[in-house]
Amino acid sequence: MLRIAIDMDDVLAYSAQKAVNAFIAEHGFGPTMQELQGKHLKDTVPPEYQEKIVSYFYQKGFLRDVDLIEDSQEVVRRLYEKHEVFIVSAAMEMPYSLEDKYFWLEEHFPFIHWKRIVFCGDKSIIDADVLIDDRAYNFDKFAGRPLLFTAHHNLDIQGYERVNNWKEVAGLLL
Amino acid sequence: MLRIAIDMDDVLAYSAQKAVNAFIAEHGFGPTMQELQGKHLKDTVPPEYQEKIVSYFYQKGFLRDVDLIEDSQEVVRRLYEKHEVFIVSAAMEMPYSLEDKYFWLEEHFPFIHWKRIVFCGDKSIIDADVLIDDRAYNFDKFAGRPLLFTAHHNLDIQGYERVNNWKEVAGLLL
């Protein structure tokens, strides 16, 4: 049995995609999903809009109804049965997202006990065997096995074991 | 430099005492501070009121204005300058307390960066050198040095290095 820590934004939930949709709805323009690939979210819009497109994450309610990434529910459920799974989200930068994230997890991953949820800032304090995350900087001080979950902003990052989707996670850990 | 994890309720904040005060204000009776000593909060009231006296912690807003424990601000500030301090609260059982706890910390411990705040359930995932906590069960799977912070409910607990107040913490870690 492994202790597996799993990130939320852009690993379980299409958070960046929701920000793009909100931006387009508000401004009438914005990146296509194809234009998002290979870029950080803020780099998909002109400089004067960069602050705006990342500001959605700080709004209360925004992350409450974000879409699920394909197969995340089913694979996390099976991982939860076999391993010691924790959800570990760097939510603390966005304090108004804390409740949204908790109740989103309760809705979509009702089998996850509250004891297995961690909202933190710096993930260096997390002691786990595996960390599934889309942000490579979370691996800097991580002693376990890092699995870089492919997301639009990390396509060019090298040097980490990569998982492109939840089916690949299942293949490695189930 | 040590990585020091510090609990919140009944370590930084007089949370149980606020519940007692709220209970007395609502019901017209309740334990004195002296009667609280040596007991768990719920055991200070008749059985039919036990659920009630612990229910305050689940109410939004309740933990937003709880009183500080003596010397906690000053000693944590000095620890923060010398060590790698994280605040680690098992807040996840009470999701409506998450924002309250965050903004309470922001008000009373403004020097603590959001990266150093962790709201979790089971603290076994925390990797630190020292854990200052009033709940001995949080030490069960903790590999570092546990410091049992004296609180009303743990007076009879044996077998742990104990700190009775923040001055004693300063004496040990500064």
pLDDT tens string A25-67: 999 999 998 999 999 999 999 999 999 999 999 999 999 999 9
Check CB contact of B130 with chain A, cutoff 8 Å.
no
The structure's pTM equals 0.96
- pLDDT confidence tier of residue A159, bands split at 50, 70 and 90: very high
Average pLDDT of the residues of chain A: 97
**Dihedral angle over CA of A68, A69, A75, A76, nearest 10:** -60
The whole-angstrom separation of Cα A70 and Cα A164 is 11
Contact A41, A153 (CB under 8 A): yes
The whole-angstrom separation of Cα B55 and Cα B22 is 11
Of chain A, the percentage scoring pLDDT greater than 70 comes to: 100
- pLDDT confidence tier of residue A115, bands split at 50, 70 and 90: very high
| pLDDT tens-digit map of B121-134 | 999 999 999 999 99
Mark whether B127 is an active-site residue.
Answer: no
Check CB contact of A114 with chain B, cutoff 8 Å.
yes
| Contact (CB<8Å) A99/B99 | yes
Mean pLDDT for A114-137 is: 97
| Contact (CB<8Å) B3/A125 | yes
- pLDDT at position B99: 97
- pLDDT at position A76: 98
Q: How far is A146 from chain B (nearest CA, A)?
A: 16
| Contact (CB<8Å) B127/A122 | no
Check CB contact of B22 with chain A, cutoff 8 Å.
no
Short-list A131, A64, A23, CA closest to A35: A23
- pLDDT at position B30: 96
Average pLDDT of the residues of chain B: 97
What are phi and psi for residue A85, nearest 5 degrees?
A: -95, 130
Within 10 Å of residue A82's Cβ, how many Cβ atoms? 12
Query: What tokens were used for B117?
Result: 């705040």
Which of left, alpha, beta for A3 (phi over 0: left; psi -120 to 50: alpha)? beta
The whole-angstrom separation of Cα A87 and Cα B21 is 35
Interface mutation vs chain B, best among A6, A8, A122, A126, most B CBs within 10 Å? A122
Contact B10, B149 (CB under 8 A): yes
Length of chain A in residues, anyone? 174
- pLDDT at position A114: 98
Give one DSSP letter per residue of B66-130, joined into a string: PPBPTTHHHHHHHHHHHSEEEEEE--TTSGGGHHHHHHHHHHH-TTS-GGGEEE-S-GGGB--SE
The whole-angstrom separation of Cα A9 and Cα A79 is 18
Give the A:B interface size as CB pairs under 8 Å: 85
- pLDDT confidence tier of residue B29, bands split at 50, 70 and 90: very high
Query: What tokens were used for A59?
Result: 């709004």
In three-state secondary structure terms, B30 is coil
Check CB contact of A3 with chain B, cutoff 8 Å.
yes
The whole-angstrom separation of Cα A144 and Cα A4 is 9
